[in-house]
Amino acid sequence: MFKSHLSLVTCAFLLLTSLTWAQSADVQLDVKKHTLANGLRILVLENHSAPVFSSIIRFNTGSVDEYPGITGSSHLLEHMLFKGTKIVGTSNYEAEVPIMARIDSLAHLAYAEQVKLQSPLNAFDSTRLKQLRQQMADAQAEQKQYIIKDEMWGTYLQNGGTALNASTGNDGTQYYVSLPKNRLELWAFLESDRMANLVLREFYSERDVVMEERRLSDENTARGRLAEATAATVNWASSYRWPVVGWMSDIQTVQREDVEQYFKSHYSPSNAVAVIVGDVNADSVFAICEKYFGKIPPQPLPRPVVTRDAPQAGERRTEVEYDASPMASICWQTPQIGHPDLPALEVAANILSNGRTSRFYKNIREKKLGTADAGADYSRYPGTFSCDISPYGDHTVQELETAVYAEIDHMKSEKVTDWELQRVRNQVDAQLWRSMDSNRGLASRIANSEIMTGDWRDFLNRSKAIKAVTADDVMRVVNKYLVKKNRSVVSIVRPEGEQPAAAAPRKNK
């Protein structure tokens, strides 16, 4: 620390030399938009620096659009959308139809058995369920002769496709791939085909895969357990209360027709956007999309989600026992996207925990209490401002909680500094420029903005809004939202009566 006078002088000097900030131009993007008659919005940004393009198709459908009994369906569909259509992934769709009908009726019978199993009032015969499952497996084996596995995935890969995948969230699902530039029409063919002609084949075995995914990411990690309990604690009424992957009992029992119905109502052209960024010509993209996606019939938008939580009236606390070191999530309820308070909440989160100059880093991590990370949602329906905390050494979750509240209270009574605000503004600009270097990243931002707000410029506007946030704004929103009665605290604790395994010499070979 004795050197600090020297560093400060250097620092001040260096800062002066770099204060040319005002000169940096705003990011301008020449995004072209075309809406097909069926409502599908196509957005194109040309970037001719390499002979490739990135694509994203985003549906305005996620776990929030589901209901109890079919939770996890958006995610299950994410898997099913790679299983082929009436013409892709099958050598004989007509022959598959009766087999799938047979599997469905067996599944109904199995479902009836599963329901019986859930109540102690019913006599339950486990051999019956086993038998039905075997019959389903046999029928599926019969169907297999017609199935050409993962043809879409394989086709993309063989054509050089990278960043190939799909993801599902609470608010939306997206399907993406980056391809060499002369594979645009191949993309349009495959994507329009699965939007129009999806077949939910291998549905019941895929349920098993999803159950494994649930065990892997939600049940066997402390973070997964914490996230699931947090959502269910914060949201009493809102559909954000169930996990994106769905409740286990729903994944186990959901029927093919239910998911098919959900697909029909929610995966329509008017409920989607397609974004292409790369070495393409916008007019050609529009023409190709007219040719392939234009054929898909229009349909009304799905029912909006109207269920809302009442304002929270008191702190909520949940404990989850799990064999891992303690950690916790603290959440405050906040409004949905479009609300003018969100940029100020984002700035607050940024000042609290983004980077090594942030308040949590200086006052919690550097004091060796543990780590704390804050974040603010921009979600389709009311979301949260959250802090994830994880204590170091023998420090406790309670100590970290106290430290986090101290920082937040400080923000309530004292304005954040001009330096902090300017730091956030400068970072927003720099990040925006950096994001321009990735077709994939840009496509994602454009798609996200367009589907969530109806305006692809939203991510640019949001940057402007963040830059306009004042110290008073931050103080006001922190006082308004980050209060005890609006808070939920969910923590991971060691199972009662269990201590971590005793110290023993490690075996090294």
- Judged by CB under 8 A, the chain residues 10 through 29 that form the site for another protein are 10-11, 14-15, 17-18, 20, 23-24
CB 239 within 8 A of CB 63: yes
**Scanning residues 172 to 201, which ones bind another protein (CB under 8 A)?**
178, 180-183, 185-186, 189-190, 193
243: contact with another protein by CB under 8 A: no
95: contact with another protein by CB under 8 A: no
CA–CA distance from 210 to each of 133, 214, 226, 249, 353 (Å)?
A: 17, 6, 19, 12, 34
CB of 68 to another protein, least distance (A): 23
430: contact with another protein by CB under 8 A: yes
CB 59 within 8 A of CB 173: yes
418: contact with another protein by CB under 8 A: no
CB of 414 to another protein, least distance (A): 19
- The torsion of the CA quartet 184, 189, 191, 193, rounded to 10 degrees, works out to 180
CB of 278 to another protein, least distance (A): 9
Burial class of residue 438 in the structure, from the number of CB atoms within 10 Å of its CB (0-12 exposed, 13-18 middle, 19+ buried): middle
Q: What mask, x for binding another protein by CB under 8 A, covers residues 106 to 145?
A: --------------------------------------x-
Identify which of residues 120 and 505 has a Cβ nearer to another protein in the complex: 505
Residues listed for the chain = 509
Residue 261 CA to residue 420 CA, distance in Å, equals: 50
205: contact with another protein by CB under 8 A: yes
207: contact with another protein by CB under 8 A: yes
- The torsion of the CA quartet 153, 157, 162, 165, rounded to 10 degrees, works out to 10
CB of 142 to another protein, least distance (A): 13
SS (H, E, C) 336-348: CCCCCCHHHHHHH
**Scanning residues 58 to 87, which ones bind another protein (CB under 8 A)?**
82, 84-87
Residue 167 CA to residue 92 CA, distance in Å, equals: 29
CB of 472 to another protein, least distance (A): 22
By CB under 8 A, name the one of 130, 317, 339, 434 that touches another protein. Answer: 434
Nearest to 66 by CA among 336, 229, 254: 254
CB of 96 to another protein, least distance (A): 11
Start-to-end C-alpha separation, the chain: 44
Residue 212 DSSP SS3: helix
Burial class of residue 392 in the structure, from the number of CB atoms within 10 Å of its CB (0-12 exposed, 13-18 middle, 19+ buried): middle
**Scanning residues 331 to 360, which ones bind another protein (CB under 8 A)?**
355-357
CB of 368 to another protein, least distance (A): 5
CB of 367 to another protein, least distance (A): 9
101: contact with another protein by CB under 8 A: no
Identify which of residues 215 and 308 has a Cβ nearer to another protein in the complex: 215
By CB under 8 A, name the one of 166, 196, 232, 324 that touches another protein. Answer: 324
